[in-house]
Amino acid sequence: MALNYSISLMGNPSKPDDPKKAYAKAQINDELSLRELSKRVSSQTTVSRADVYAVIISTVENMVEALRAGDQVDFGELGKFRLQVSSKGAATAEEFTANNITGVNIQFVPGDDLKNLFEGMQFNPVPTRAAVRAVLKAQKAGETTVDITPPVRPAGDDEDDAEPGTGGGTQGGGSGTGDEDEDLFG
């Protein structure tokens, strides 16, 4: 099975005058819900769907409790989860307080099975979500041509149409769930 990707032109936030470069953005096809996951696991084992669902819910609750306690949660070949903090700097260690902490993120360190996930993987270029939306809009309007040229943004306009909380922010490291910067056909 191939992973779909589109291409997005992105600038370097620390060097706004540098030319934008093309990067791949993974395009998510679908979502495996907890309900569907529990059905799949149930069909592959002797455990009922309700029991699988209950075990997964309990696992997540215990993981959250352990992370909040500052523990690392090790899921074997899947990988490890731990908390990571981000903070504002202080001039000295004495001046640093808990008020300097600006956020907490969950860091995932993949296990051996996931580290090798890309071996033999194929990649399939697809249009960006913005391009697909433009084509659908044109079809509904009865138009036969579509202009997918990205709109020109005024200087200093850093706003994009990424979905809230989708990550990104580093070159080539976005989640691919939003159409950030200038999107192109893949």
Cα distance between residue 13 and residue 157, in whole Å: 12
Average pLDDT over residues 10-27: 91
**Half-sphere exposure (CA, 13 Å, Cβ side) for 11?**
14
pLDDT band with cut points at 50, 70 and 90 for residue 181: very low
Q: How many CA within 13 A on the CB side of residue 152? A: 2
The pLDDT value recorded for residue 156 is 56
pTM, two decimal places: 0.61
Using the predicted structure, report yes or no on whether residue 162 has a pLDDT greater than 90: no
Q: Is the pLDDT score of 167 beyond 80?
A: no
For residues 63-68, average pLDDT: 96
In this prediction, residue 105 carries a pLDDT of: 96
CA–CA dist 132, 138 (Å, integer): 10
Q: Is the dihedral of CA 101, 74, 33, 179 positive or negative?
A: positive
Instruction: Compare 119 and 61 and report the one with higher pLDDT.
Output: 61
At residue 36, the pLDDT reads 95
173: pLDDT strictly greater than 50:
no
Lowest pLDDT segment from 6-15, 54-63, 69-78: 6-15
- Asked whether the beta carbons of 58 and 66 are under 8 A apart, the reply is no
- Confidence tier at 171 by pLDDT (50, 70, 90): very low
DSSP readout, the chain? -EEEEEEEEE-BTTBTTSPPEEEEEE-------HHHHHHHHHHHSSS-HHHHHHHHHHHHHHHHHHHHTT--EE-TTSEEEEEEEEE---SSTTT--GGGEEEEEEEEEE-HHHHTTTTT-EEEE---HHHHHHHHHHHHTT-S----PPPPPPTT----BPPTT----STT-S-SSSB-SEEE--
